Amino acid sequence: MQVSQQIVGQFRRKRLLIASIVAALVLILTLTFRFVEEKGRIEQQSRNFANNAIQRFDRMFSPLDVSASNTLGLVGVRCSTVRFPLVEKLATLQTVRAVLLVDNDRIYCSSIYGERNIPFSTTYPELAVNNQRMLLSVDNYLLKGSPVLLFWTPRSMDNRAGILQVINIEMMSNYLLEPTLPWVERAVFNVGGQSLEYGNPMIEAVHPSEDEVGYQQSSLRYPFSITLFGPAPSRLALMTLPSQLPLALLLSLLMGYIIWLATANRMSLSWQISYGLSAQEFMVYCQPLISARTGSCEGIELLLRWHNPRQGWIPPDVFIPMAERQNLIAPLTRFVISETVRHLPTLPACPTFHIAINVAASHFRDRAIIDDLQRLWWPANPKPQLVVELTERDALPVVDQRVVSHLHKIGVKLAIDDFGTGHSSLSYLKTLSPDVLKIDKIFTAAIGTDAINATVTDMVISLAQRLNISLVAEGVETAEQALYLRERGVDTLQGYFYARPMPLGEFPGWLTRHQPTMDA
C-alpha cells in the first residue's frame, strides 16, 4: 500500500508540476503580451502625435504658400504702391508678422516699416545661397529676441527676388506642440540645424536627458521635422504591468486548473496501464513450480511485470489492483495468454507440465475467460495442462460459478490463489470445487517463527488433504520451510529458494540447467 501511495503521489506531483509550469508560462506570456501590446500602443501614440502635429503645421503653412504664390506679382513694384496691399494681405494671415519683398537681392519693402534697403543674400545666406525655404531666426525689429520662422518663396531660380514671410512660430508651436503626457514630455520644431522647443523661446539645439528617448518625424511637403522626447516606451509599459497582474494571474490559475483536470486521466496509473499495453511495456515472467516429492520442475506460474520508462519497474501489487478497479485486468490477462501461446514451442509439450495463469474474478463475468481461451489458447493446440488461478481481490459472484463448471468440463484446472487471505472462504471449497489451493506466502514465512500462522498453515494442509485437493506453497525461501512443507505432504513448492521469477523466454535455458535435488 505504501508503494502504491508513492506511485500515485508521484503522478499527482507530476500533474501539479505540469499544471504549475503551464500556469507560470501563461502568466509570463500574458504579461509579456500585455507589455508588448502596451509598448506598441505607446509608440503608436508618439507616432500619432508627431503625424498630427506635422499635418497641423502643413495646414498652417499651406495658405501662406498659396498667398505668397499669389503675391509674387507685386515683387518689383514700388513699395509705396504695394505696401497697403501687403497690409491687407497681412490682416488675413494671423500667424504672419510681416511680409517682405525682395528684388535684385535686396529687401526693398516691408509691410510694417515700408521701404527698406537690406542686402538679402548677406543677411539670410541660408535662403539666398543654400536654397532653403525655411529658416528659424530671431526677430530683431518688431518683438526683439522673439523666435520667428522665415518662409521664403522665390520668384526666380537664382533666389534674387521673391517674398519673405516672417511667421510667429512661437505662437504656432505653443498651440500645435503641446506635449501629451506621459509618452510625450517634450516636443521640438526643427528647421535645418535649428530647433524650437515647446515652452522655450530660445532657438537652440536640444538633446534628450538620460531617461528620455527621441522620436523624429519629417514633413513630406515642407522642410521641417518634429522631434519628440519622452520616457522609453518599454519603461512606461513596465509601469502598467502591476495593473495587469490580477487578470493575468486569474487567467494563469484558470489554465493551470484546466491542465490539472486534463491530465487527470493521462497522468494516472490507469491511463499508463492502457498506454503500456499498446507500447509493449509489459513482459511475461514465470516462476517454476517444483515437485516436493521429486524436486523436478512440473510447471510454471505466469507473472506479469511492468517496466514503465517514465516510472521504472512498477510492482504488481501496485498496478494489478488498479487494473482490476479500472476494468483493465482482462486486457492484461489476454496479453499474458497471447505471449504464452507465442512461447509454447519452447515449453515442455507434455500433459504433466502445468502452466498457471492468474485470472481475476471479474474476468469470469459473462463467460469472458471462456471466450478468451477459445479464441487465444485452444487454437494453438497446447499440450501442457492449463491451470487458472482465481485471485481473491474481488469476491466471485455466484452467477459466474457456472463458468467454473465449464472450465472443468474443457479440461482446465482451477486453483484458488492466496487461500486464507482476501475474500476466500471455506464456502469456495464447496461451490467452486477447486483442483488446487495455493498457500499464501505469509503463512509460509511464518514457519518456525509464528506459532499461530504455522497452525493455520497446518489446518489448511490437513483440510486440502481431506478434500483431495492439491497444494502449492508460495514464498518458499529457506531449506527449513521446504522441509517442513514436504514433510506435511504439500505437493508443489514455489519460491526464491528454487528460482526467482524470470522472463518467459529464459525459462527453457533454466530448465535445461535445473538439477532435481531432495537435499532441501
Residue 330 domain-assigned? yes
d(CA 90, CA 330): 103
pLDDT of residue 212: 84
Q: Express as a percent the part of the chain with pLDDT over 90.
A: 42
- Per the domain annotation, does 230 fall within a domain? no
Q: What's the sign of the alpha-carbon dihedral 144, 147, 153, 157? A: positive
Residue with C-alpha cell 525461501?
Answer: 477
Q: What is the pLDDT of residue 162?
A: 94
Report if residue 415 sits inside a domain: yes
* pTM, 2 dp: 0.58
Q: Give the mean pLDDT of 221-232.
A: 92
Q: What is the mean pLDDT of the chain?
A: 86
> Pick the residue with more confidence: 392 or 476?
476
Structural domain span for residue 377: 281-513
Whether residue 472 is contained in a domain is answered as yes
Query: Which amino acid appears at position 392 of this protein?
Result: E
Query: 3-state secondary structure string, 295-359?
Result: CCEEEEEEEEEEEECCCEEECHHHHHHHHHHCCCHHHHHHHHHHHHHHHHHHCCCCCCCEEEEEE
**Range scoring the smallest mean pLDDT among 316-320, 395-399, 422-426:** 395-399
pLDDT of res. 450: 66
User: How many CA atoms lie less than 13 Å away from 487 in the CB half-sphere?
Assistant: 10
Q: How many domains does the chain have?
A: 1
What are the residues facing 149 on neighbouring strands? Answer: 136, 167
Q: Give the whole-angstrom CA distance, residue 149 versus residue 169.
A: 6
Strands 297-308 and 225-231: unpaired
For residue 265, count CB atoms less than 10 angstroms from its CB and return exposed for 0-12, middle for 13-18, buried for 19 or more. Answer: exposed
Rg (CA), the chain: 50
Report which of residues 143 and 114 the model is more confident about.
Answer: 114
User: Which residue in 247, 185, 265, 284 sits closest to 27, CA to CA?
Assistant: 247
Q: List pLDDT tens digits, range 498-508.
A: 999 999 999 99
Q: Please measure the distance between the N-terminal and C-terminal CA atoms of the chain and give it in whole angstroms.
A: 33
- Does residue 124 sit within a domain? no
Among residues 260, 273, 266, 339, the alpha carbon closest in space to that of 307 is found at: 273
Q: What is the pLDDT of residues 323-381, one digit of tens each?
A: 887 788 889 999 999 999 999 999 999 999 999 999 988 888 888 999 999 999 999 99
Q: Strand, coil or helix: what is 418?
A: strand
Residue 131 maps to a domain: no
The answer to whether position 349 is within a domain reads: yes
Helices 2-71, 269-278: axis angle to 10 degrees equals 90
Q: How far apart are CA 383 and CA 377, in angstroms?
A: 11
Lowest mean pLDDT among 259-268, 392-401, 429-438, 507-516: 392-401
Q: Before 182, cis peptide (omega within 30)?
A: yes
Dmax over CA atoms of the chain, in Å, equals 149
Report long-range pairs for 484-490 (Cβ below 8 Å, ≥24 apart).
484/447, 484/448, 485/292, 485/444, 485/447, 485/461, 486/292, 486/293, 486/520, 488/458, 488/461, 489/461, 489/465, 490/292, 490/439, 490/461
Q: Does any domain span residue 154?
A: no
Closest alpha carbon to 22 in 333, 377, 293, 261? 261
Q: What is the CATH number of the domain that holds 474?
A: 3.20.20.450
